[in-house]
Structure 1
Amino acid sequence: MSYYLKKNWKLLFLPCFLGLMAQGAYAIIQLLMMQSFQAAFDLNLREFVQWTCACIGGYAAYLGLSAIAGALESNAKRKLNNQVRHDLYLTLLNKKHPEYHSLDNGVYMSWLSTNIKQIDSLGWTSFFNIVNQLAMIMCCVAALLSLDWIMLAFGLISAVIMLIIPKLFTKRMEKLGQACANAEAQGLSHIKDILAGFDVFRAFGRANQFISKGDSASNELENANCKLEISQTFITCGISAISVCLQFLQQIVTVFLAIQGRIIVGAISSASNLTAGITNGLSSIASGRMSIAASKPYFENITIHEDDVLPQEEPIAERCYNAISMMNVSFSYGDKQVLNNQSFLFEKGGKYALTGSSGCGKSTVLKLLLGWLPNYQGSIHFNGKDARDFTQEQLLQQMSYIEQDVFLFNTTIRDNITLGDNFSKEMLEQAIKNSALDGDLANMPLGLDTPVGENGSSLSGGQRQRVAIARALIHKRSILLVDEGTSALDQKNADIVEQSLLDNPDLTLILVSHHLSQKRKAQFTKVYELEPITLVSEN
């Protein structure tokens, strides 16, 4: 949190300064009210009216400054929240493929939504509240000092007491904040899973299970937050009780000083307000410090900031690879081995197919080439250079990957193909033709500007795959990895797409398929037929 406060001190200065001015106006109002009360005590109507008018003017200034400061605070919190989200995106982008996929997307959604709300309420709001209360305390201290040093001394003693108490609860609030963050992420992940399975629940008549699981996930979200709020409430009430006791003692001191003639009698009316400004301010600061402590776990997900210096990637020596070799490669998912000392050779411009039954490692080969599965045995070389010497980003600059479960952004077909880049009309038309998407677009009134819906829900499975193929083709990667990428196409369109890929002399194609006709196999440079690994037990 301190990182963002230091970075944005210019943004925070004006609302904090106006808050200080507002609290100064409040302290001046209390001094004016003393004079007004004293005039009433002396039965001086003229001075009473003058001082009362001055109080009204002071309140107008106080409310105006407070309103402007509040608006600036809201704008500052908006910008701070956007910066936190930006750094969370950078953090996610910095994760390796296995690390990113080790958590469910629901967890990341929680980071970017629920956690930001908690940072806003527990962090930024508490910070501005603490600044305002500090300003209030300073102004009230100055006002009390203008009355009598004994009142100031009592106020400082109150300050010490109120600053010590919160330290007793800081660790507990941090622990509760962490538990709340974890529970919210878990609950949101469960809700995402339930919503994704909505059609399954309805198809099998499990409406009650849908509701019960939803209620259970809702309880996960709310219970931890409720526990955090209850603890905050009890601790805040205890601190407030101590604050009230200190105010009563301050009132006794004020009356004693008035009897002694050291302060005017009118001071009795506002001295308690000034003292309350100190004790209540310190109580609010104590509560704010606990809230900030509870917000700490929400910042721990951020591991990289915008102005952190990132290591520069080494430029890739060659734009295209003449050969990719995989020698004696073995890989296991936990205890399940899917590749065992297997070797492959893919040469530039060649067309290769990986066939075999489910679970024999076809998709694993592609993921190894993409750098997504680093914990393998054996060697993988690009033009004789070890794949481990490349970053994952460098490898992806050379390859495009099309999988069976295609993801599309909730925007237009055009944006899903171009990903925001500018391509000539000819390049776009060529990619559409080679992906067999032209027939679909001809039947869409909006053509390329047709919205696809959330994850392509407005398109058929085949249309989504054709969009993904067009996206891969237009970005001109020298190596295309296709993992059942034409499985959702009808035979006619599948033949058109596959033939287009096979006819491209500059493209190195590695295609995964369960079944290929003998005629189609003959068109590939080489077909690797993988077999599942059979464990042999020894008697």
Structure 2
Amino acid sequence: MSLRYTSKIKVILYFLLSIVYALGNVVIAYVTKIMLNMAQFRQGSINKLIVVGLVGMLAIAVIMLANFIYRYLKCDIIKDINVHIKAKTMAYLIEKQDDSQKDGLSLMTNDVKQIETLKITNELMIITEAISFVVAIVVGLLNSWLLTLLFIVTTIVPGIVQKFFTKKIQTKSAIWEKANANYTQKVSDGLDGAATADLYDVQVPIVGRVIVGAKRMEDALKSLNFTQAVAGEIILAVAEIFSFILPFFVGAILMYQGQIGAGTLVMIVQLSNDFVNPIINIFQQVNAIQSTKPMWDKVDQALKFSEVQPKAATSSDFSGLNVDDLTYQVKDKTLFSDLDFSLKPNEKVLLMAPSGWGKTTLLKLFLGKLQPNNGQIYINQNSVTGDWQAAHDNFSYVNQKPFIFDDTLKFNITLGRKADVATLDELAQKAGLSELVEEKGWDYQVGEKGANLSGGQIQRVEIARALLSKRPILLADEATSALDSKLSLEIHNTILKNPQIAVVEVAHKISDQEKALFDRIVELDAVSD
């Protein structure tokens, strides 16, 4: 149940306010009974009748004011749960990195929205409907136990009918969820590929591809909605026959025999809305909640997932990196075998090999993201082989194409980590960003994918991220291959002249001037042969 992800106090208060909400119809029914019985049996005076009416109106006004709080609290609870779900789900997707962009994007947008609309809201409404039903039953029993019991018995029939539709609704919901994810990916592809479509004048087929996905998604949604609507109509018709007409018929007989007054009959009929409607609504709400099962199952994995908080390493902890007899195979192909390598604190090493050798794979082995077929990797004489949690805290990473968030310059360097202005200014100086910071400021919006930055500035942002982490080893994966020679040399000067970090760079082509900046150059082809 999603309500466990909000404050218990709020749920309790919602429960109490739901009781007040349920009293609205009861007040109307009870006031109606008193006034009709007074009129039928000529009890009291006109003034007393007026007083009853005024008291009833005042009670309804008070309930209305309480309902403002009830509705605000309902919205607040939904907000709390939504924020919690989105935070946990996003953390799960980032941590696991198992879902494709299509699945993750669909989960964070469409699926979570469906959960809000069909699950969270309906779980809250089931509480309100159940309370309305109980309050109406209690008041009904106090006034005519026979009619009330008859209403209770006949409300069972719609529940029996509802069970026939449950499995079919769940199946159609799963079909819609799959079609919706496919449509989301096609939209994402279309937007990301807009430039390519424009280049080759293929806008029509690209749009057509999205339309095909949209039709399939809408067809699946239409089928799901129609099935739910049919189920609702059938349940409503059965409920009206068995839960309204038949009890009303019996009530009319009792009134004809003089066992109850007109006011009591009208009151029970009025309350019958709270006998029947809550039950009908609950059945429909249960159906809606069940339709979210495929989506909730995925979200539930995220909610149960415990994030691992790694312990940060500092450069003072690092005494050396050693690789012994490392072998890695992909299917039947051996990328490298019996590889030995060592790195001292603050040492700058260039690993050179042609494209396709497996340089990026080697860095992933260092990070513990992959498990070698043979051999061991040691940091500070402790094995970190294939252990991401133990290994990666020792490394920062400079990619060939760093990812840039559509946010400020400051956020792209800190990534949300705390850093004072003095620390940031020092980072800017070390990473060669001082001029940009002086001109634009730390709150400069860098644009989507760093559109407002040059290629060199993007690389320097990546370097500043690495320096802020204060990790002892910086891995550079073809970090400057996409830059011109001048920028490449500038970036290398920034990285390699920092005395506080060790550097391992993999590259297949680099200038002699840049090679001279390294302490050691290792030709990987020769080492692994």
Residue 456 of structure 2 contacts residue 487 of structure 2 at CA under 8 Å; is this kept in 1?
no
- The structural deviation recorded for 1:72 is 1.1
Residue 33 of structure 1 contacts residue 55 of structure 1 at CA under 8 Å; is this kept in 2?
no
Determine whether 1:24 maps to 2:23. yes
Alpha-carbon distance in 2 for matches of 1:371, 1:206: 43
Alignment match, 1:74? 75
Q: Determine which of 449, 466, 470 is the counterpart of 1:472.
A: 466
Alignment match, 1:204? 200
Alignment match, 1:437? 433
Determine whether 1:280 maps to 2:274. no
Determine whether 1:128 maps to 2:124. yes
Please state whether the residue corresponding to 2:480 is helix, strand or coil.
coil
- The structural deviation recorded for 1:124 is 1.7
CA distance 1:423–1:124, shift in 2 (3 Å): closer
Alignment match, 1:381? 378
Alignment match, 2:329? 331
**Equivalences for 1:225-304 in 2 at 5 Å?**
225-246=221-242, 247-302=244-299
Alpha-carbon distance in 1 for matches of 2:452, 2:41: 81
The one-character-per-residue Cα deviations of 1:461-482 (angstroms, maximum 9, x if unpaired) are 2221121112212332210001
Unaligned runs of 5+ in 1: 533-539
Please state whether the residue corresponding to 1:381 is helix, strand or coil.
strand
Determine whether 1:34 maps to 2:33. yes
Alpha-carbon distance in 2 for matches of 1:379, 1:227: 56
The one-character-per-residue Cα deviations of 1:124-155 (angstroms, maximum 9, x if unpaired) are 21112211211221122123212322112212
The one-character-per-residue Cα deviations of 1:337-385 (angstroms, maximum 9, x if unpaired) are 5444444333333222233332221111111111222364433222332
> Residue 25 of structure 1 aligns to which amino acid in structure 2?
G
Please state whether the residue corresponding to 1:344 is helix, strand or coil.
strand
Please state whether the residue corresponding to 2:385 is helix, strand or coil.
helix
- The structural deviation recorded for 1:312 is 7.5
- The structural deviation recorded for 1:48 is 4.9
Please state whether the residue corresponding to 2:163 is helix, strand or coil.
helix
Alignment match, 1:354? 351
Alpha-carbon distance in 1 for matches of 2:481, 2:248: 82
User: TM-score w.r.t. structure 1 length?
Assistant: 0.87
- The structural deviation recorded for 1:190 is 2.5
User: TM-score w.r.t. structure 2 length?
Assistant: 0.89
Please state whether the residue corresponding to 1:374 is helix, strand or coil.
coil
Alignment match, 1:64? 65
Determine whether 1:528 maps to 2:522. yes
Alpha-carbon distance in 2 for matches of 1:110, 1:293: 19
RMSD over equivalenced CA pairs, Å = 3.0
CA distance 1:255–1:524, shift in 2 (3 Å): same
Alpha-carbon distance in 1 for matches of 2:121, 2:135: 21
Residue 319 of structure 1 contacts residue 398 of structure 1 at CA under 8 Å; is this kept in 2?
no
- The structural deviation recorded for 1:320 is 0.6
Alpha-carbon distance in 1 for matches of 2:458, 2:313: 32
Alpha-carbon distance in 2 for matches of 1:189, 1:379: 40
CA distance 1:316–1:71, shift in 2 (3 Å): closer
Determine whether 1:485 maps to 2:479. yes
- The structural deviation recorded for 1:40 is 4.4
Question: After alignment, is 174-183 or 258-267 more displaced?
Answer: 174-183
Alpha-carbon distance in 1 for matches of 2:465, 2:313: 23
CA distance 1:55–1:489, shift in 2 (3 Å): same
Please state whether the residue corresponding to 2:510 is helix, strand or coil.
coil
Residue 27 of structure 2 contacts residue 60 of structure 2 at CA under 8 Å; is this kept in 1?
no
- The structural deviation recorded for 1:208 is 1.0
What percent identity do the matched residue pairs reach? 24
Alignment match, 2:164? 168
CA distance 1:308–1:193, shift in 2 (3 Å): closer
Q: Determine which of 410, 414, 425 is the counterpart of 2:410.
A: 414
- The structural deviation recorded for 1:42 is 5.3
Alpha-carbon distance in 1 for matches of 2:328, 2:521: 19
Residue 352 of structure 2 contacts residue 508 of structure 2 at CA under 8 Å; is this kept in 1?
yes
The one-character-per-residue Cα deviations of 1:95-124 (angstroms, maximum 9, x if unpaired) are 2xxxx1x42234223222222211111112
- The structural deviation recorded for 1:520 is 3.2
Alignment match, 1:320? 318
Please state whether the residue corresponding to 1:301 is helix, strand or coil.
helix
Residue 5 of structure 2 contacts residue 81 of structure 2 at CA under 8 Å; is this kept in 1?
no
Tell me the matched-pair count. Answer: 522
Question: After alignment, is 194-203 or 509-518 more displaced?
Answer: 509-518
The one-character-per-residue Cα deviations of 1:2-23 (angstroms, maximum 9, x if unpaired) are 5x43763321121221121121
Alpha-carbon distance in 2 for matches of 1:26, 1:520: 82
- The structural deviation recorded for 1:194 is 1.8
CA distance 1:235–1:269, shift in 2 (3 Å): same
Alignment match, 1:537? none
Q: Determine which of 489, 498, 510 is the counterpart of 1:516.
A: 510
Unaligned runs of 5+ in 2: none
